[in-house]
C-alpha cells in the first residue's frame, strides 16, 4: 500500500458522523515530520501560510499552504537565489536564511528574514505562491537575526529582533527599532526591551503581536534542544515587559518546544505552531492549542493549572469539522514536467549546467560537473540535488539511468549530512563500478571510505535507501526493480549544520571536459513504512 508521506495521521474521533463532507477528526503531532525549522504562520481568510528557515539551501524561504493547520504543501519560495549572489555560489553551511517572519500588510504579503552575516531583509508579493520581489536590506549588520514587524493601530511600524552570538559576540537580549511606514528600513536607534541573561538565556526568535491593548513578544529561550517558550507583555511597545514561561517539555518527550507562531482561526480558535529538534530528521513541526487566561496565553495542555503548558500528542483539529481536501507534502517525483519539483533544493546558487528537467525525455538530468578543487569529500560540493527526510521510517526508491562517458565520472543516491553515505556508479578503467561510499565527520574534512564495490553490467539501475527508526539507513540496488541486493553496511544519518540530513542525488567528475557524462533520474518514490 502506498501511504501519504505527510506525518499528520488523521484519526476518527469518537464523535464521528457518517457525512463524508463533515467528519470530526483529531490530528496527531507532529503535523509535519520534516525539517521546516523556525516556522512562522499567518492566516488570510480561510488560508494559512507558513515560512521557515532554509539556511544555505536554494531555492530559499519555502512557503507552505494549508486550509486546516494540519496538512501542508509547498507552494513556492520567497528566494529563487540567495544574495549576495557570488557569496552563495559556494556552499555556506549554516549561513543564508535564518528564522523568517511572514505578515500581510496593506494588501501585500511580506517576509522578513535575517542573514546573520549581512543583515535583515524583506521580500514582498501580492501572492504568497510568488513571484516575490528582490530582497531589500531593512537593517544592515552582522549577527542580526529573527526579525518580526508590527504595524501599530496608529500606523507606526516597529521591528523586534535578536542577536546571534556566533556573529555579533552578544546574545540573550531582544531589541526594537522603529521602521518607516512601508517597513523597508529602520529609522532610529535600537532599544533593548528584554535581557534574558539571568533566567532566560539564549532568548531569540521573537514574534511581535498586539491583543487587548497589550504588546506581546513570543520568544523561545534556553536553546534549541532543551529550551522553553517564553511570552513577554507590556502596554508600552518599548517596555518594561512582564514575562511568563507558557510552554515547556514537562513530562513529555517533546524536547525544546519553542520557536513558532501564534495564529487565530476565522472562528476565533487560537493555535501555536512550533518545532522540535529531532536530530537527523531536522526540526519537525507541531501544532498546539492555545487558551488565554488573564491576558496570558497557555500553550498545550496545562493539567496542573500553573499557566505553563506541555505539548499535546493529539487534539481535535482546528474548526472541529474537516471539510477541506488533504494536502500532502511533496516527496515523489516522476520528472515528467518542465520545472524542478518544489521539494528539491541545491546546496548553493545553482548553475544551469548542474541539471535540468526534460519533459521530452521524462527525466531530471544531472551532469557530471567537476568537483571543487582539493575536495576530499562532498561537504563543499554545491551541486547536490536534495530534499528533506519525510518521516521516521520510509523506503525511497529511484530508477536511475547512467551515461558515464569517461573515467572518473560518478553519480548516485545519497543521504547527506555531517556524516554521509551513498550508492553510486563510477567509471574506472573503462568499467562501471557499483559502489557504496561512506564518510564520517565530512564537515571536518575527513576522507571517504569505499565499503562496497562490484562491477556493474548495466547502466540502468534501481537504487533504494530504507530508513528505519533512529535514522538507520540500509542501501540496496536492483537491475529489474523486483529483487534488491543489500550493499554496504547500515548507516546512521546525522544532521547537517542547522538542518536535518537530506536525501537525493549527485553527479561529479574529476577535472573539466567538453562533453561530460550524466545521470538521468527517471523517477523517485517514497513509501512510508512506520
The residue count of the chain comes to: 530
Quick: pLDDT tens for 468-509.
Answer: 999 999 999 999 999 999 999 999 999 999 999 999 999 999
Mean pLDDT of all residues in 383-397: 98
Residues in Cβ contact with 483 at an 8 Å cutoff, skipping those fewer than 6 apart = none
Report pLDDT for 190: 97
Report pLDDT for 1: 32
Walk me through the domains of the chain, giving residue ranges and CATH numbers.
10-322 (2.115.10.20), 352-528 (2.60.120.200)
For residue 527, count other CB atoms closer than 10 A to its CB: 17
* Residues designated as active site: 38, 204
Please determine, for residue 22, whether its predicted confidence score (pLDDT) is greater than 80. Answer: no
pLDDT band at 457, cuts 50/70/90? confident
Residues in Cβ contact with 111 at an 8 Å cutoff, skipping those fewer than 6 apart = 51, 61, 63, 78, 100, 101, 102, 103, 122, 123, 124, 132
Please determine, for residue 278, whether its predicted confidence score (pLDDT) is greater than 70. Answer: yes
pLDDT top residue among 257 and 322:
257
pLDDT band at 321, cuts 50/70/90? low
Report pLDDT for 67: 95
Residue with cell 551515461: 403
pLDDT band at 324, cuts 50/70/90? low
Quick: pLDDT tens for 337-367.
Answer: 999 999 999 999 999 999 999 999 999 999 9
Q: What is the torsional sign of CA 480, 481, 486, 491? A: positive
Query: Rounded to an integer, what distance in angstroms lies between the CA atom of residue 400 and that of residue 525?
Result: 12
Counting residues of the chain whose pLDDT is more than 90, the rounded percentage is: 90
Quick: pLDDT tens for 142-157.
Answer: 999 999 999 999 999 9
Residue 305 and residue 286 in contact, taking contact as beta carbons nearer than 8 Å: no
Please determine, for residue 312, whether its predicted confidence score (pLDDT) is greater than 90. Answer: yes
Mean pLDDT of all residues in 322-327: 65
Residue 58 and residue 348 in contact, taking contact as beta carbons nearer than 8 Å: yes
The grid coordinates listed for 161 are 529582533
Residue 354's alpha-carbon distances to 314, 350, 357, 471, 508, in angstroms, are 43, 7, 11, 29, 10
Quick: pLDDT tens for 25-36.
Answer: 899 999 999 999
pLDDT band at 4, cuts 50/70/90? very low
Quick: pLDDT tens for 64-93.
Answer: 999 999 999 999 999 999 999 999 999 999
Closest to 26 (Cα-Cα) out of 229, 292, 315: 315
What is the average pLDDT value for the chain, to the nearest integer?
A: 93
Q: Read off the pTM.
A: 0.94
- Residue 344 forms beta bridges with which residues? none
Amino acid at each position: 500500500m502506498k501511504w501519504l508521506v505527510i506525518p499528520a495521521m488523521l484519526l476518527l474521533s469518537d464523535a464521528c458522523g457518517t457525512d463524508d463532507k463533515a467528519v470530526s477528526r483529531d490530528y496527531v503531532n507532529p503535523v509535519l515530520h520534516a525539517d521546516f525549522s523556525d516556522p512562522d504562520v499567518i492566516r488570510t481568510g480561510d488560508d494559512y501560510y507558513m515560512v521557515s528557515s532554509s539556511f544555505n539551501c536554494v531555492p530559499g524561504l519555502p512557503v507552505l499552504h494549508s486550509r486546516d493547520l494540519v496538512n501542508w504543501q509547498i507552494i513556492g519560495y520567497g528566494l529563487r537565489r540567495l544574495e549576495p549572489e557570488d557569496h552563495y555560489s559556494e556552499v555556506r553551511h549554516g549561513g543564508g536564511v535564518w528564522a523568517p517572519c511572514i505578515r500581510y500588510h496593506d494588501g501585500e504579503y511580506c517576509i522578513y528574514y535575517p542573514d546573520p552575516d549581512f543583515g535583515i531583509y524583506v521580500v514582498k508579493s501580492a501572492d504568497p505562491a510568488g513571484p516575490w520581489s528582490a530582497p531589500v536590506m531593512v537593517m544592515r549588520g552582522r549577527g542580526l537575526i529573527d526579525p518580526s514587524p508590527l504595524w501599530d493601530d496608529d500606523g507606526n511600524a516597529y521591528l523586534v529582533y535578536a542577536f546571534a552570538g556566533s556573529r555579533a559576540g552578544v546574545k540573550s537580549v531582544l531589541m526594537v527599532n522603529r521602521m518607516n511606514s512601508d517597513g523597508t528600513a529602520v529609522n532610529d536607534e535600537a532599544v533593548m526591551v528584554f535581557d534574558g541573561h539571568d533566567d532566560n538565556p539564549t532568548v531569540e526568535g521573537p514574534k511581535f503581536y498586539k491583543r487587548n491593548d497589550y504588546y506581546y513578544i513570543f520568544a523561545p529561550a534556553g536553546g534549541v534542544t532543551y529550551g522553553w517558550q517564553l511570552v513577554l507583555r507590556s502596554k508600552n511597545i518599548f517596555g518594561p515587559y512582564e514575562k511568563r514561561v507558557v510552554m515547556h517539555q514537562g513530562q513529555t518527550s517533546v524536547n525544546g518546544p519553542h520557536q513558532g507562531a501564534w495564529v487565530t482561526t476565522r472562528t476565533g480558535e487560537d493555535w501555536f505552531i512550533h518545532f522540535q529538534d529531532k536530530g537527523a530528521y531536522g526540526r519537525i513541526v507541531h501544532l498546539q492549542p492555545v487558551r488565554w487566561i488573564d491576558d496570558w496565553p497557555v500553550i498545550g495542555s496545562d493539567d496542573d493549572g500553573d499557566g505553563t503548558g506541555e505539548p499535546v500528542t493529539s487534539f481535535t483539529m482546528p474548526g472541529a469539522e474537516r471539510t477541506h481536501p488533504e494536502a500532502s507534502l511533496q516527496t515523489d517525483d516522476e520528472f515528467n514536467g518542465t520545472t524542478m519539483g518544489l521539494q528539491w533544493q541545491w546546496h548553493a546558487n545553482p548553475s544551469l549546467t548542474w541539471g535540468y528537467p526534460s519533459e521530452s525525455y521524462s527525466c531530471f538530468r544531472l551532469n557530471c560537473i567537476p568537483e571543487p578543487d582539493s575536495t576530499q569529500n562532498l561537504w563543499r560540493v554545491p551541486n547536490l540535488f536534495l530534499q528533506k527526510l519525510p518521516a521516521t521510517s520510509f523506503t525511497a526508491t529511484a530508477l536511475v539511468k547512467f551515461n558515464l562517458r569517461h573515467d572518473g565520472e560518478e553519480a548516485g543516491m545519497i543521504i547527506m549530512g555531517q556524516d554521509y553515505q551513498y550508492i553510486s556508479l563510477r567509471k574506472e578503467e573503462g568499467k562501471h563500478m557499483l559502489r557504496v561510499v561512506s564518510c564520517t565527520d565530512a564537515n571536518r574534512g575527513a576522507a571517504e571510505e569505499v565499503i562496497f564495490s562490484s562491477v556493474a553490467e548495466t547502466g540502468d539501475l534501481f537504487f533504494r535507501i530504507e530508513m528505519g527508526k533512529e535514522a538507520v539507513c540500509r542501501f540496496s540496488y536492483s537491475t529489474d526493480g523486483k529483487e534488491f541486493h543489500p550493499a554496504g553496511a547500515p548507516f546512521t544519518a546525522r544532521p547537517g549544520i542547522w538542518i536535518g540530513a537530506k536525501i537525493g542525488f549527485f553527479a561529479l567528475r574529476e577535472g573539466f571536459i567538453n562533453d561530460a557524462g550524466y545521470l538521468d533520474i527517471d523517477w523517485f518514490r517514497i513509501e512510508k513504512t512506520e
